[in-house]
Amino acid sequence: MTNVNSMKSQMIDSLWLPTVQEGGRVFYPRLRKNKKMKLLTLTNDRNFQEVVKFQENHLTQKEYTVAWARDSFKRIRLETESMGVVLEAGRYEDSILSATCPVHGHFSFDIINLDFSSQDPDLEDGRIEKEIESLERTIYLQNQERGNKFVLIYTTLIDSKNIDRDYVVRASDAIRINEWSGLNLSHFPQRISDGDLKKNFIEEVIKKICQKYGYTNIKINSSTLAMPRGQEQLYSIAGIFTR
C-alpha cells in the first residue's frame, strides 16, 4: 500500500483546482458568489483537502458533496466533517458495477473526482483496467441522469504492471450504445508496459469513453508526480466535458 497523502495537495494546486475553477466559469458563468457545484469524490478520511479547497474557492459547499470512503472506519471519520453524504461499500471500482451500489441514487454531478490513489489501492494485476471500467460505468450513470456537463478527474498510481488493452476494450464494448462502433485502440500494443504509453492510453480511453456517450472534451490536462523511494508515479488527468 502506498501513501500518497503528502502529494495530494500538490496535485490539487497544480491540476484539480484550476480545472474545476475553469469548469465552474464555463458551466455557471452567472453564479459569482458560489457555484454550488455538486461533487462526487473518492477521498480519504485523513486527507480530504480537495473538498476544503473547492469550498474555499466558492466552487462547492459541503452539503453538495458526496464522498466515497474505502471502509467503515474512514466513513465514520468523514461523517464528522458534515459533508452532504458519505458513502462506503467497499472498493468503488467493484461496487459501482453492482445495481445496488448506493451512489447510483446521487447522480448527476458537476465534478467527478475519481481519485483511486486515495482508496489504499492494492497494486495487483488488472487494477487500472478495473478503474477504467468503473469510470465508464460512472459516465454511463451521468449520461442516464442527464448530466450534460462535468469536470472529470481521474487519478491513479502508475506502477510496473502491464495494462491489458483487450480487457479495457471488452469491458467497454460490453455496454452497447447506438451508433457507437466500439472502442478502437488497435494502435496500442496488447500489453502496455511503458509508463508514458500507459498515460497516453489512459487519456485516449477517457476521451473515447466520454465521446461514446456524446460528451465533447473542452479541455484536458494531466500531471505526473514521482513517488518517493519507489518506481510508482502518481498520475492525474482532469478534463472539462459538455454536450
Partner 1 sequence: MRTFNVNRLPELTRSTYESQQRWGDKNWKDTLKKHYKEIEKLLQKIGVFDSWKNILGNKYGKVAGELVPEIFLDAYISVHFACMGLYKQANICLRTQLETALRLVFFSMHPVEFKWWYESNEWYRGSLRTKDVWGDGYRYFEQLETVKKFDKICNGKLFNSIRRIYKILSRYVHSGVLSFQTTPVRVSPKYKIDAFRKWRDNFRDVQDYVNTIFSLGFADEFQGVSLNNQKKILKVVRNDKFKRGLRKSLGLKFRGRI
- The CB-of-86 to partner 1 minimum distance in angstroms stands at 12
Nearer to partner 1 by Cβ, of 7 and 89: the residue is 89
- The CB-of-221 to partner 1 minimum distance in angstroms stands at 35
Nearer to partner 1 by Cβ, of 52 and 76: the residue is 76
**Taking the alpha carbons of 102, 115, 80, 28 in that order, is the dihedral positive or negative?**
negative
Q: How far apart are the first and last CA of the chain?
A: 38
Cα separation, 152 vs 23, in Å, equals: 10
- The CB-of-72 to partner 1 minimum distance in angstroms stands at 5
Containing 5, the helix (H) or strand (E) segment is: helix 5-11
Nearer to partner 1 by Cβ, of 99 and 174: the residue is 99
Cα-only R_g, the chain: 17
- The CB-of-62 to partner 1 minimum distance in angstroms stands at 17
Nearer to partner 1 by Cβ, of 126 and 182: the residue is 126
Nearer to partner 1 by Cβ, of 104 and 219: the residue is 104
C-alpha dist (Å) from residue 192 to 167, 172, 202, 209, 236: 12, 17, 11, 19, 18
- The CB-of-102 to partner 1 minimum distance in angstroms stands at 9
Cα separation, 156 vs 43, in Å, equals: 13
Residues interacting with partner 1, by CB under 8 A?
A: 71-73, 76, 88-90, 94-95, 98, 100
Cα atoms in the Cβ-side hemisphere of radius 13 Å centred on 210: 26
Residue 100 neighbours by CB under 8 Å, 6+ apart: none
**96 three-class SS:** coil
Nearer to partner 1 by Cβ, of 73 and 144: the residue is 73
- The CB-of-70 to partner 1 minimum distance in angstroms stands at 9
Cα separation, 127 vs 92, in Å, equals: 12
